[in-house]
Amino acid sequence: MSNKVTVVGSLNVDTTLRIKRMPLPGETLAAADKTSAAGGKGANQAVAAARSGAQTAFVGQVGKDNGGEMMIKGLQDNGIDTTGIRENDQVGTGSAAILLDSDGQNSILVYGGANQQLSVDDVTAAQQQIAAADFVIAQFETPQAATLKAFQIAKANGVKTILNPAPAHEIDPALLKLTDLIIPNETESASLTGIIITDETSMLMSAAKFAQMGVRNLIITVGAKGAFYCTQDGYNFVPAFKVNAVDTTAAGDTFIGALSSQLKPDMSNIEKALVYAQRASSLAVQKMGALPSIPTHEAIIAASRQ
């Protein structure tokens, strides 16, 4: 049986500008290429889950505009249930401008738009999709009040919650107490715990700090190095697969979505699911774009056999 995953989150139209290097303050550079594609942390995570075989539903908000139509169609094309997405005729669909240099590193500017209007009422209206899931995933490109409501519905129905605290900012302590698994990168982890990630000791200290805040299961992603996990059953650092990255956009989102498709709700197979997620992420960074780069289950399995 495949996992059922509901994502509460952001929907952005991504515009990517390819440049040789990042501009200096006051400097004008020519872009070699410009592309537009569906993206946003929420959409990326949902598509990654769906392409890895999870039955996926989405709760979010778009503008009543071309961008909104594009986002909904993009999700539907991946078999995602979009009945939990509301169209807002007052605010435009979220968007992101991505500067991508020749080394595959990016800088991203995000306009929240309709994402920032996602309300407690929107989430309540989608409680059926939340209650039916094995996992509910949320990030911080939509208001925390909406996420808190989603996690409250999840916990009332025995659904496991995954929080990706990105972009990092202060978290409502009540939200952390409702979080079963938190997945920050090393920068986000440091900003939330005050502990800089340097080695295994600092990672274990971070896990202890998150446990104090109420989150007992942790994965810290450390870019091209790999990922650390800590649950009540144990901990380990799992190295990443070595690849030549051309575009790191959506790498972390692919990891989270793919993980949610494979992880058992009791977290008993976390290392196996994490290796699968890292394989998915390693394939995503070898292609351009956010949604277009996210691999299917078949591609991930094929890469695992090589």
Binding positions are 12-14, 40-44, 141, 185, 221-226, 247, 249, 252-253, 284, 287, 289, 293
The neighbour count for residue 151, using CB atoms within 10 Å, is 26
Numbered residues of the known binding site for K(+): 247, 249, 284, 287, 289, 293
Q: Domain for residue 27, yes or no?
A: no
- pLDDT at residue number 103: 86
pLDDT recorded at residue 246: 84
Domain count, the chain: 1
Contact 277, 256 (CB under 8 A): yes
Instruction: Judge whether 90 lies within some domain.
Output: yes
Kindly name the residue from 121, 233, 253, 266 that is annotated as catalytic.
Answer: 253
Is 130 among the domain residues?
Answer: yes
Q: Is 253 among the catalytic positions?
A: yes
Residue 190's Cβ-side half-sphere holds a number of Cα atoms within 13 Å equal to 10
Residue 194 in this model has a pLDDT that exceeds 80: yes
Strands 160-163 and 181-182: parallel
Report the SS3 class of residue 185. Answer: strand
Whether the CB-CB separation of 13 and 97 falls below 8 Å is answered with no
Query: Is residue 194 in some structural domain?
Result: yes
In a domain, 28, yes or no: no
Calculate mean pLDDT across residues 173-190: 97
Judge whether 39 lies within some domain. yes
Indicate the average pLDDT of the chain.
95
Q: Decide if pLDDT at 217 tops 80.
A: yes
Residues in the chain: 306
Which residue positions form the known binding site for ATP? 185, 221-226, 252-253
> In the numeric block, which tokens belong to residue 154?
């999840």
29 assigned to some structural domain: no
- What is the CATH number for 98? 3.40.1190.20
User: Minimum mean pLDDT among 20-29, 158-167, 281-290: which range?
Assistant: 281-290
E strands, the chain, are 4-8, 12-18, 33-39, 55-63, 81-88, 94-100, 106-111, 135-138, 160-163, 181-182, 217-222, 226-231, 234-239
Range of the domain at 126: 4-22+34-305
pTM of this prediction?
A: 0.93
DSSP type of residue 293: G
Amino acid 305: pLDDT: 85
Query: pLDDT at residue 204 above 80?
Result: yes
Task: Report which of 152, 125, 12, 22 is spatially closest to residue 71, judged by C-alpha positions.
Answer: 12
Q: Which residues partner with 160 through β-bridges? A: 135
> In a 10 Å sphere around its CB, with 0-12 CB exposed, 13-18 middle and 19+ buried, how is residue 167 labelled?
middle
Find the radius of gyration of the CA atoms of the chain: 18
> Residue 91 contacts by C-beta under 8 Å, 6 or more apart in sequence?
63, 113, 114, 116, 117
40 in a domain, yes or no?
yes
pLDDT of 1 above 80: no
In the numeric block, which tokens belong to residue 111? 């306009």
